A and B are shown apart, each in its own frame.
Chain A
Amino acid sequence: KQEVTQIPAALSVPEGENLVLNCSFTDSAIYNLQWFRQDPGKGLTSLLLIQSSQREQTSGRLNASLDKSSGRSTLYIAASQPGDSATYLCAVRLGVGNNDMRFGAGTRLTVKP
């Protein structure tokens, strides 16, 4: 059974710091991995999607890496800003024809001005 874990559960950093969020999954047979952002009480905004054959994806100040064999992904945020404060969720998709995504519980990030 695929289980997704995110560490740490919460993180508080001063503005301008670079930071890394971690995601691990127990079964390496994934189709892809996706990072989302969720603001309090809101829906999910997709940040980056990495296919199982890829090693990393970049978008602006965000960089996500995937090491499928070890069951790990990281989300790197450069030069953090107060507007980055949110919960960050990672999710793995189990198969190409399957929309079943397994989510971690998220990391709640606070960036202090």
Chain B
Amino acid sequence: ETGVTQSPTHLIKTRGQQVTLRCSSQSGHNTVSWYQQALGQGPQFIFQYYREEENGRGNFPPRFSGLQFPNYSSELNVNALELDDSALYLCASSLGLGDTQYFGPGTRLTVL
């Protein structure tokens, strides 16, 4: 059984660009959540997807958007990148809503 995987590992973008981050859920998991972790802080909830639909959102602007595909893999898209978007982006999958979340290794995004 494979765990949660994320790609790419690292990414460097410039202000104003757009970025797409990818996450493959653990086998059999239909729920995925995305978190942003700034340096020295705990992760902050961005949103979650359940069976391909957004099912909850944290305090992030609309330029943070996502998708979940029929195979339950997921994307996080960020438009009009700002310097403060530099962070570690984590995705977590779970068997269903409210079940234990298993985290991927993260994508380190640097915005210059």
Binding site for B on A (CB under 8 A): 4, 31, 34, 36, 41-46, 49, 89, 91, 93, 95-106
Contacts and interface: CB of A to CB of B under 8 A. Distances in A.
Nearest to A95: B98
A98 B98 contact: yes
Nearest to A90: B42
A41 B104 CA distance: 12
Contact of B102 (A46, A95, A100): A46
* Interface size range of chain B in the complex: 20 to 34
A22 to B, nearest CB: 14
Given A41-B108, A43-B104, A49-B100, A99 B31 contact: yes
B4 to A, nearest CB: 8
Contacts of B41: 105
A110 to B, nearest CB: 15
